[in-house]
Amino acid sequence: MGMTMLSNIETLAVLGGGIAGCYLLAAFGWSIAFPERRIWPPKKATTGIKLRVWLATISIFAATLVLGIANWNSFDWPAFVRWGIGPTLMIAGNVVVWMGVRKIGFGATSGEVAELKADGLYRYSRNPQYVADMVILVGWAVLSASGWAAFIAAFGVLVLAAAPFAEEPWLEDTYGADFRTYKAKVRRYL
């Protein structure tokens, strides 16, 4: 129960999600340690950089999806728990993510400079999209009740939780006192 032997596709999903997560954690870690030589957010948001970041992020979500389907309910959780909690979290997370994209624009979610937003969802959390992405991953892990999906989802949550630490020095440099005031008033996550 929980974690079982993996098929070839499941092994690829674990490796793909794991490599993508390691890539992003390394980029964020480098950017946190060396903000003047940061990788994320990029100094110039080229198509190649955006593609690499989005591909890695999508790989984590795709791996979680594949593993959840392949190991469906390996935890043997009751349907009312899985179906009561999982879809609720996934729907709520998607609503918040897409409201955030609508508010700041797709470019800003891909590392481009945009106007600092401190209203709407951003008055409650400095990172509502990251929080919502975490909620989506947790929702799928609950719905699928899969040990391997939960493992990659937890890794994805770690990656998403690290991203703001890489972004905050850049936000402070870019927006100065406005960001510092905003940072003092609004929490990083919730």
Top-confidence residue, 19 or 6: 19
Summarize the confidence of residues 95-124 as an average pLDDT: 89
Q: What is the DSSP string of 146-168?
A: -HHHHHHHHHHHHHHHHHHHHHH
Band (pLDDT 50/70/90 cuts) for residue 164 is very high
Q: Is the pLDDT of residue 71 over 60?
A: yes
Q: For residue range 120-146, list pLDDT tens digits in order.
A: 999 999 999 999 999 999 999 999 999
CATH 3.30.70 correct for 8-185: no
Domain spans of the chain, in order of start: 8-185
Summarize the confidence of residues 41-54 as an average pLDDT: 88
Summarize the confidence of residues 47-56 as an average pLDDT: 90
Band (pLDDT 50/70/90 cuts) for residue 189 is very high
How many other C-beta atoms are found inside a 10 Å radius of the C-beta of residue 87? 14
Residue 140's pLDDT is what? 99
Both tokens of 31, joined, read: 């950017």
pTM: 0.92
The 3 state secondary structure assigned to 55-87 is HHHHHHHHHHHHHHHHCCCCCCCCHHHHHHHHH
